[in-house]
Structure 1
């Protein structure tokens, strides 16, 4: 039996501040706003420190664009991410870009993955967050799954690892039953983000290259978020999962 996200208990907006200093892991620019933008905005309102780690270079959304070659796409998407963080009330400089290849984020056993794990260990050791936000371990995108593996490998090396909460992005639309949390695998809750829903929507809008009407308009096969997908992130709640110990 799989978990029914909509049946999870609802926690009030004020609960967010109890999570303490937080690091959010974003496989791509926009995952932070889609999956947990409301929580991040609530943390900012409560003056709780937040940092963002960007795993990939974000260049594969429009791989055939001539007007925006890969370095320009990477720069554009990182700029959009910083704008989104500002819309959420966060410091745009609280960002660590790891620059791993979009669409081919390596696992921790690969040399580049092991190097990323080492950087995560150093970063987390320096910042000492109480909570880490990471994509759901089986979120149906290979980069999201690899990002989860990198984070778990890093946490395993810390003497006192922070709390790990998992957020949803592609599981809303693409998940097979086996991708979803199974009974007894996780506990979970919904967070009321109604007070900051406008901030979340502005942060999503900051990722304009990923939305209909994208400025990267010379790649017919390029990716933009479908309105049906975006509708999941216009809700006044966000879902968080935590492993059952």
Structure 2
């Protein structure tokens, strides 16, 4: 996820809690979104994106015993430059052995054998320079008939946008269905609401327990939630992100 400092200028109201179009988005069921027998493929640019973008969807699919593949594109190793707490040694412990992500999936209720998990190891914050090999990497793990869920190609974060473009290309080549998940776009100022493709938006409802588990899972990423005031380092995931995760739905661009 992107540093909180980039959101400091984004005050309320934001699109996620103020756009009137949100109330009119058509409802879609999990079964309509993903037909029986199809495999769901989740593309996560950074650790935590799979929870922030579609932690509810992961739970619903797990409950239905849908086959799932999670592709973690980067390990998030560049999230704490200059941090005395999250130094290179500690990051090597937490990220290359992704304990936070393992814990997050456990909190979602997704069993260890409930999905396949592929980690790309691509360099964070410079994915745009590796878009072609990234598309090939994603395509290598796709098969015809898959239903892909990626961050939106216009989400506003370079890595998110790149994963969206690479995922769209790979899905087209392989013959998979491609869907997009806005993450940071919800935190644009309300005046930017016309940039959202509302005609493509569908709302996946989440019950109170699914919503609560999604928030609980995000709290597994302690390295992103806890800043270091003494060092002047803000949390990577600001409070407003957790507030948005309390909404009883997820939005998918189909």
Band of TM-score, shorter chain = 0.7 to 0.9
Aligned-residue Cα RMSD (Å) equals 2.8
For 1:188, the equivalent position in structure 2 comes to: 201
Confirm or deny: 8 A CA contact 1:137 1:148 kept in the other structure: yes
Query: 1:121-160 residue pairs with structure 2 within 5 A?
Result: 121-125=139-143, 130-158=146-174
TM-score, normalised to structure 1, is 0.81
Indicate which of 33, 37, 58 corresponds to 1:40: 58
Give how far 1:202 is off.
2.0
Confirm or deny: 8 A CA contact 2:83 2:233 kept in the other structure: no
Q: 1:82 to 1:16 in 2, by over 3 A?
A: farther
Aligned mates of 1:85, 1:129 — CA distance in 2? 25
Q: 1:16 to 1:226 in 2, by over 3 A?
A: same
The ranges of structure 1 where at least 4 consecutive aligned residues each deviate by more than 4 angstroms after the TM superposition are 12-17, 216-219
Helix, strand or coil for the counterpart of 1:59? coil
Query: 1:164-203 residue pairs with structure 2 within 5 A?
Result: 164-174=178-188, 177=192, 180-182=195-197, 186-194=199-207, 195-203=209-217
Give how far 1:42 is off.
0.4
> Unpaired runs of 5+ in structure 1?
none
Give how far 1:71 is off.
5.7
Give how far 1:238 is off.
0.7
Q: 1:5 to 1:91 in 2, by over 3 A?
A: same
TM-score, normalised to structure 2, is 0.78
Helix, strand or coil for the counterpart of 1:157? helix
**Larger relative strand fraction:** 1
Aligned mates of 1:180, 1:91 — CA distance in 2? 38
Give how far 1:218 is off.
6.9
For 1:97, the equivalent position in structure 2 comes to: 119
Aligned mates of 2:89, 2:136 — CA distance in 1? 25
